[in-house]
Structure 1
Amino acid sequence: MNTQHSRALHLQVVADVICPWCFVGKRSLDQALDVLAGQGIEVDVEWLPYQLNPTLPEQGMERKAFRTQRFGWENSLAMDARAVEAGSKVGAEFRYDRQSRTPNTVAAHSLVRLARVEGGAVLQDGVVDALFVAYFTDGADIGDHAVLERIAVEAGMRPGAVSRALEHRSDVLRFEDSVRATGLNSVPSYIVDGQLLFSGSTSVDGYVRALSDAAKRAA
């Protein structure tokens, strides 16, 4: 095993849990992390919040109405088709036919932050993955607190997680403000040691190369 890189990389992923390319990127990144682990490169992943739709009402909006207003419905369908095709190659299943609402994601991001505080990177990653699957594959409304509570408990969090997560709402908004202040305006984006590595999802090999190069620079 190659153990020349002894220091674990701290990778911060700026993402929204209703961003299709963040879901595609996570599936590719997960595979890349397995490859990197085999090379002796450890990566500590931390998920940071970013709202694609910060002006959405707290209860969200009916999906077709929102997407028509923002993108135009025909354009929205074409965007969905591209995500479905990309996801099929990496194990990210999109079932847009099951979705009915576009949610406000502050509560979901607060839950993700709480997972990091209570259970570290492993629990946070599990909650993020469960949120992606709930929204994109199951068509669940992840702005609904009852849905979020179910996701949290199934991911291994203690009951009452959504109520506890409310304490982290201000942290989420502060994190997001600090990210936007850097000029970053697209997700997913990847930050190592405070420096932007790249934005946008890429292939498994692309993640391996970028993180391997970052590990060499850190060493």
Structure 2
Amino acid sequence: MPNLKIDLVSDIACPWCAIGYARLQQALASLPDLSVELEWHAFELNPDKNAPQEPILPALSRKYGRSEDEMRAAQANMMNIAAKLGLNFHKMQQRFTCNTFDAHRLVKWAATENKATEMKQALFDAYFGEAKDVSDKEVLAACAAQAGLDKAEAQRILTGNDYADTVTTDIAKYQQAGISSVPAFIINNKYLISGAQEPEQLAQSLQQIASESA
């Protein structure tokens, strides 16, 4: 059985990262003979921890130089895509910008408990589905509990600096490797697949890489 290592660089604040992972799941479901090891890596769309939070639509409008109506339409399109994938994006247009460094710290901790994916999905649900502030420590601890992790331990981690160096190193590593947008799928430390590819296209790429690696 072919084995692939997938390093998935993403941010909790990135809707295409949630979509990209859901599409990866569909792609892998169509490749039952493929054995995959997945590791999540950190990326920050809003790296300034001291930046004031603001409503997402005007923030995106300013960032991309497009009107709020255009951004609203783009977000609505993502909501439709997400719904077809079974993702909860119900309140993605009601969310605010926020820094995700502490959320990434919890993902790193969750990985030591073999629950990194559950943690990521709980964070995606909170941010896009419920428009919760995923920089807030109580929200983050609740997400940890939802992911099946110990809430008290999550709260302890959040009051200190556990995994901060791990996240900082992770972010720097992939920035230095030239990753400037997410999601980014790095296969076997050799192949890069950028963006939330359609499941069929992603499956084809993975199958080809597996064949070349066999």
Which runs of 5 or more structure 2 residues have no equivalent in the other structure?
Answer: none
Distance change (3 Å), C-alpha of 1:152 and 1:191: same
Provide the alpha-carbon RMSD of the alignment.
2.0
Match of 1:109 among 104, 108, 116: 104
Q: Deviations over 1:77-100 (max 9, x none)?
A: 132122112223322232236734
Task: Confirm or deny that 1:182 pairs with 2:172.
Answer: no
Q: 1:197 touches 1:210 (CA, 8 Å); kept in 2?
A: no
Q: Distance in 2 between matches of 1:106 and 1:26?
A: 20
Equivalent position amino acid for 2:60 in 1? R
Task: Confirm or deny that 1:163 pairs with 2:156.
Answer: yes
**Residue 120 (structure 2) aligns with:** 128
Q: 2:75 touches 2:92 (CA, 8 Å); kept in 1?
A: no
Q: 1:99 touches 1:135 (CA, 8 Å); kept in 2?
A: no
TM-score, scaled to structure 1: 0.86
Q: 2:4 touches 2:210 (CA, 8 Å); kept in 1?
A: yes
Match of 2:15 among 11, 20, 24: 20
TM-score, scaled to structure 2: 0.88
Equivalenced residue count is 208
**Residue 46 (structure 1) aligns with:** 39
Q: 2:98 touches 2:134 (CA, 8 Å); kept in 1?
A: yes
Q: 2:40 touches 2:116 (CA, 8 Å); kept in 1?
A: yes
Which runs of 5 or more structure 1 residues have no equivalent in the other structure?
Answer: none
**What's the CA shift for 1:56?**
4.7
Q: 2:75 touches 2:93 (CA, 8 Å); kept in 1?
A: no
Distance change (3 Å), C-alpha of 1:69 and 1:163: farther
Equivalences for 1:139-218 in 2 at 5 Å?
139-158=131-150, 159-164=152-157, 166-218=161-213
Distance change (3 Å), C-alpha of 1:89 and 1:100: closer
Q: Deviations over 1:98-117 (max 9, x none)?
A: 73422110001111111112
Q: Deviations over 1:31-52 (max 9, x none)?
A: 222222x2x2111111100001
Q: How high is the sequence identity, in percent, across the aligned residues? A: 29
Query: Once superposed, which parts of structure 1, at least 4 consecutive aligned residues long, lie more than 4 Å away?
Result: none
Equivalent position amino acid for 2:83 in 1? S
The alignment partner of 2:170 has SS state of: helix
